Homo-oligomer: A and B are copies of this chain.
């Protein structure tokens, strides 16, 4: 019966099944990478891929590929996103795109079987491991290991807050695959927008032209443990006070740039010790600055770093940059935008061009192959929040749009000649 189900109903049913896994009382979800809930959804996804007629391959970092192999030894067009969520996230981020790709893969496989579509490439539906980075840093892990930007060794060394390594989590979950990933010629992904541009412009599809640059920093602040009462203020070396100064600097930096030229955040603060009566001796914090322009992001990060000395002086602490990662701003594949525009007309979508501020698996793929990134609207613009919401009709429109794009991609002879 499932085989005969039309695409709209199939998508709705599949998204409802997936959304039930890890669901929280407030409507949010917790399916962090390689936790019990992620293992449950991975098993569910593997079975649905097989039901849809795909052959499943799992690579060593746990990326799951469902391959519709119409031609032996042909390269694939890849479509997908990620199933993992934030610890207290929404049900759309990543999961929507994976289920949309599943529905599209199943439908296109049907069209090919019926002789209604004549592919030049195979098709693979993918869920990338640990896009969120909520449990294991860095984020966008599985897709960056796939493209070679991140080494397998560095990924496996990552440790969560309980000190479990990515290596052990993969092995214990049973999702450290032994198969090689299929080689691909192009990638398409659809995702919730995480902003309100589409809603505000009454569009229902975003076509991503490029991504913002980001500089991500882990900073350590060392002071000295002392008594919150007995120790004179002049003798304190309060790591938490220093961290507070750094958080304020990070936020206020934005004011030194034109409106929305820079975004910044300070998160994942850890303090030690954790007593009401002890001045903190040690903190670590994660800081990000983002800009449409790489040089602005780099300059802002430099500015912030140059202010460490002032913070050290005011708090008698030592502020150290532990790690810095730069995400460059890149344009997406230009011919892909033309493909998306034609697909929007075909699927009846009201599409607009836009940039993505946040990173996605497509940012990694875009560095190495022709890549198309699509957005569906987010009601209220909520992201990384249980309040994430995309209306049912927008969800369905996105599936149709991804279907139109995918049909074009699998039937193109070459991606050079577009």
The interface of chain A, by Cβ under 8 A from chain B, is 86-89, 132-134, 137, 139, 161, 193-195, 212, 214, 216, 224-233, 235, 238, 240-241, 243-245, 247-248, 251, 254, 260, 263-269, 271-280, 286, 288, 290, 356-359, 381-387
Contact = CB atoms under 8 A, between A and B. Distances in A.
Contacts of A231: 194-195, 381, 383
A194 B227 contact: yes
A88 to B, nearest CB: 5
A263 to B, nearest CB: 6
A195 B236 CA distance: 12
A356 B227 CA distance: 12
22 contacts: A86-B277, A86-B278, A132-B277, A134-B275, A139-B276, A139-B277, A161-B274, A214-B229, A224-B385, A226-B382, A226-B383, A229-B290, A229-B357, A230-B357, A230-B358, A230-B381, A231-B381, A232-B263, A238-B251, A248-B248, A267-B276, A269-B269
B248 A288 contact: no
Nearest to A286: B276
Given A224-B385, A231-B383, A358-B227, A280 B267 contact: yes
A371 B244 CA distance: 40
Contacts of A193: 230
Given A226-B384, A269-B269, A276 B161 contact: no
Nearest to A212: B229
Contact of A225 (B226, B245, B248, B384): B384
A348 B240 CA distance: 43
A251 B317 CA distance: 15
Contacts of A226: 382-385
A267 B286 contact: no
Nearest to A249: B244
Contact of A88 (B86, B266, B273, B381): B273
A164 to B, nearest CB: 15
Contacts of A382: 226
A223 to B, nearest CB: 11
A288 B229 contact: yes
A278 B268 CA distance: 9
A245 B240 CA distance: 12
Contact of A244 (B87, B212, B244, B276): B244
Given A245-B248, A275-B134, A359 B229 contact: yes
Nearest to A161: B274
Contact of A383 (B214, B230, B243, B247): B230
Contacts of A245: 244, 248
Nearest to A28: B225
Contacts of A225: 88, 384-387
Nearest to A378: B230
A184 to B, nearest CB: 26
A276 B137 contact: yes
Nearest to A266: B240
A230 B195 contact: yes
Nearest to A228: B265
B240 A248 contact: no
Contacts of A279: 265, 267, 384
A212 B229 CA distance: 9
Contact of A384 (B194, B227, B272): B227
For A86, A88, A244, the residue with the greatest tally of chain B CB atoms inside 10 Å of its CB is A244
A216 B276 contact: yes
A278 B241 CA distance: 22
A387 B279 CA distance: 14
B278 A228 contact: no
